[in-house]
Amino acid sequence: MAPSSRNTRGRKYFIVTGDKVTELEREVIAGLNSVAGPAAFFIPILKLFNRKRAESLSSLKKLFSSMQNAFDSGKHPVLCGAPAVICIASPNSNMQGKDDCVCSEQYLMLYAENIGIASCINGFTQIAHKNAERFLGVPKGYTIHAAVMLGYPKYSYRRYVRYGEDITWIE
Q: What is the helix (H) or strand (E) element at residue 119, kind and residue range?
A: strand 118-121
On whether the 5-151 domain is CATH 4.10.640.10, my answer is no
**Would you kindly state where each structural domain of the chain is located, as residue ranges?**
5-151
- Read off the pLDDT of residues 74-107 as tens digits, 9 standing for 90 and up: 999 999 999 999 999 999 999 888 999 999 999 9
Regions of the chain short of the pLDDT cut 70: 3-5, 8, 37-47
d(CA 118, CA 19): 20
Instruction: Provide, rounded to the nearest whole percent, the portion of the chain with pLDDT above 90.
Output: 62
Instruction: Supply the pTM of this predicted model.
Output: 0.84
Q: Where are the alpha helices (DSSP H) in the chain?
A: 19-49, 51-72, 97-114, 123-127, 129-136
